[in-house]
Amino acid sequence: MLFSFVVGGAILSGAIGHAQDTKTTLVEPPAPLLPQQIGDWVRQEKPADTTLQPENDQKLDTVLTEDGLKRSEQAIYREKNGPAITVTARQFVDATGAHAAYSYFERPAPVYRGAGLGDETSLSGDHYLFRSGASVVEATGGRGEKVEALLNRVQVGLPKVSGPKGVAPLLPTLLPEKGLERDSVKYALGPVSYEAMGGVLPGQILGFDKAAEAVTARYAGKGKLTLLFYPTPEIAGAKLRAIQAEIEKQGKTAGTVVMRRSGTFVFLTTGNWSLAEAKSLVGGIHPRMEVTWNKPIPPEFHTEVQKTYSLLASIAIFCGFGALAAVVLGLSLGAGRAAIRVLQGKPAATEPEFLRIDLSGSPAPIQRDSGRSS
């Protein structure tokens, strides 16, 4: 009974201490992407049927999911006696996903030469599109200095990212500039967005489920160039073989095809190229290998690392137990042998039965075992 009271008291005191240590944590919601008022621009109530999805774009939700959308917000701003400007802001996990979304929304248009908005900006009619860090903003309904001032204030209030998440993807920078049609460059992180932006291969065979990246571009008077990036050379090699099988299936409809793999990169030409031009273009791409990887590593890569770690840990544990067992066994045998000698009336740490050669030159008496007769 006394033991039960002691154990019960200890459990009760532990529960009380745990209750005292428990603290309530308040999670502050993130600030809204779009403020209520910006200067003279006041946010208006949206119609009930207003949505973030453009008309007839049924793939948008899937594309944004592939790009890593975190949250989005839409607002209508109106200045006194001015037009109504509809602003849509989307925040992504990193700048890579934001760049992919910007690439999806971008439409062919003259080079934008207005006020600097974000890291990338385009203007088509009265449709502004810009990327700032890991956020993408669209605005429609008007254009000019006042609208650009409004968007610049919106940009200032967007969430800021730093470190690897704020780094734009490397792959589009590897495209050769000569003959490149800049408005045809499309960057994708998933099969749906890749095919929707004019990809030349089935998106399902390219390995987007293994964190692949793809960029497609058209060259003036020629065909298309596709660049693919994978986390490991092994994945790149396996996907290159799948692409080769698909090209063989397409036959002559694929045009002039030249493929090359360089480490984790795969380069591919399709369309109206001469063989010499295609080889020169693909052979002239020299990727810089100092890559900052800011996306999740594929599950199978984690599995291989875990297997290797488990194997090495098991070997280390086995060796440790083996060494410990050898020490314990040696001590046990030594102590047991000494104990037996003591029980027999012999010294535990001497061996009088062994012959000893004395090279000192002085005579020494012969020691006899006390247990034997002289």
Q: How far apart are CA 144 and CA 115, in angstroms?
A: 10
pLDDT band at 75 (very low <50, low <70, confident <90, very high): very high
Beta bridge partners of 76: 44, 86
Q: How far apart are CA 368 and CA 103, in angstroms?
A: 99
191: phi then psi, degrees, rounded to nearest 5: -65, -35
pLDDT at 292 over 90: no
By the 8 A CB rule, do 231 and 270 touch?
A: no
pLDDT at 278 over 90: yes
Would you state the structure tokens that stand for residue 17, as one six-digit string? 């201490």
Angle at 227 between CA 238 and CA 295, to 5 degrees: 75
Q: How far apart are CA 76 and CA 85, in angstroms?
A: 6
Of 77, 70, 107, 108, the C-alpha closest to 91 is 70
Q: How far apart are the first and last CA of the chain?
A: 69
Kindly list the domain boundaries of the chain, sorted by start residue. 30-168, 172-297, 304-374
Q: How far is CA 81 from CA 35, 84, 370, in A?
A: 20, 9, 124
Provide the greatest CA pair distance for the chain. 132
Q: How far apart are CA 20 and CA 9, in angstroms?
A: 16
Per-residue pLDDT tens digits for 294-308: 556 656 555 667 788
Would you state the structure tokens that stand for residue 229, as one six-digit string? 């990036």
Per-residue pLDDT tens digits for 193-250: 999 999 999 999 999 999 999 999 999 888 999 999 999 999 999 999 999 999 999 9
Full DSSP string of 82-142: S-EEEEEEEEESSHHHHHHHHHHH----PPP-SS--SSEEEEETTEEEEEETTEEEEEES-
The phi-psi region of residue 269 (left if phi > 0; otherwise alpha if psi is between -120 and 50; otherwise beta) is beta
Per-residue pLDDT tens digits for 139-194: 999 888 889 999 999 999 999 988 889 999 999 999 999 999 998 999 999 999 99
Q: How far apart are CA 244 and CA 257, in angstroms?
A: 10
75: phi then psi, degrees, rounded to nearest 5: -145, 155
Q: How far apart are CA 346 and CA 342, in angstroms?
A: 5
113: phi then psi, degrees, rounded to nearest 5: -125, 20
pLDDT band at 1 (very low <50, low <70, confident <90, very high): very low
Residue 202 class from Cβ within 10 Å (0-12 exposed, 13-18 middle, 19+ buried)? middle
pLDDT at 40 over 90: no
